[in-house]
Amino acid sequence: MSSPIRVVVTGAAGQIAYSLLYQIAKGDVFGADQPIILHLLDIPPMMEVLGGVVMEIIDLALPLVTEIVPTADPAVAFKEVEAAFLVGAMPRKQGMERKDLLSANVKIFKVQGEALDKYAKKTVKVLVVGNPANTNALVCSKYAPSIPRENFTAMTRLDQNRGRAQIAERLKVNVGQVANVIIWGNHSATQVPDANSATVDLGSGPLPVSEALKNDEWLKGEFITTVQKRGAAVIAARKMSSAVSAAKAAGDHMHDIWHGTLPGQFVSMGVISDGSYGAPQDVIFSFPVTIENKEWKIVQGLQIADYHKPLLEATGKELLEEKAEALEVCEH
């Protein structure tokens, strides 16, 4: 057994964390032989609930969990951590404008950025799940200047998983046969799901999804809108936001940072933009990436369809607007 690593989950008494903690504790994320010290952060009013979560983790009787540290203090939560799942954020309530959500959450991520800067290991890998995830990740990294910006990523893996699942369902194949679906841009309704580089293995090796589907209209229309609106559809049906699927996607995202991507495959995540594919620079933009030795690299040279270009522009514009709003909130 290797020595334990410290992993923090924020919003640890919440819905997403409830599913995520089991995956982490069981070894699905960091590996079946990687012991974990779990740091669980939540706000003071949630401490009693968090106590119940701690009891359940103990009752799982999983040998990889060597210690549990429940706390409402960021200084304790982020001490010496090597991986951070920033799940805790104010959820969007009915009648709430995105702008209101942004200003409430930006303050949370400013504080957490400062705490990471002060207490976490400089190699820490930070995944932001709490919305608006891309801009929260940007703010967090801004207030943690001693940690490389590349170490802060935002989750668009749930959208990628949704896209793969839609294609698998349409082709009546197992989702494991579908690879390289891309999510460009923001984790919001402006995101750009793109299956033009996606492949499906029907038994004789990878085939372009567009060839297998023979339905460009669906790929240009319904596929994009279904993935964009899936979160809202889940809320409408469940009266609560996606929790199990979001937790699974967070685990997938961190697993790939830790263990790398499979040969010939790439995954989507929000990373600091270098302007690739005409995206604005210095925002957290979702790109297809490959990962090796815990370092991601944007996949270059992919074809962007003409009908995607205005969509990419719109999602980039939204991220620039969010960035401007967020920085204004931070400075006040």
39 carries an active-site annotation? no
The tokens describing 2, both together, are 């290797």
Q: Which residues of 169-197 are buried (b: 16+ CB within 10 A; e: fewer)?
A: ebbebeeebbbbbbbbbbbbebbbbbbbb
Annotated binding residue at 157? no
- Is the Cβ–Cβ distance between 54 and 47 less than 8 Å? no
In which order are the strands placed within the sheet that holds 125-128?
A: 65-71, 36-41, 5-10, 83-86, 125-128, 152-154, 267-272, 284-292, 295-298
CA 118 to CA 55: how far, in whole Å?
30
- Exactly one of 39, 187, 255, 308 is catalytic; name it: 187
Give, for 317, the enclosing helix (H) or strand (E): helix 309-331
Q: Is 130 annotated as a binding residue?
A: yes
Do the annotations mark residue 149 as ligand-binding?
no
Find out whether 95 is annotated in a ligand binding site.
no
Does 92 carry a binding-site annotation? yes
- 323: tokens are 């960035």
151 assigned to a ligand binding site: no
Do 131 and 235 touch, CB atoms closer than 8 A? no
Measured CA to CA, the distance from residue 38 to residue 27 in angstroms comes to: 12
| Binding-site annotation: residue ranges | 42, 92, 98, 105, 129-131, 162
Annotated binding site for substrate: 92, 98, 131, 162
Per the annotation, binding residues for NAD(+) are: 42, 105, 129-131
Provide the annotated active-site residues. 187
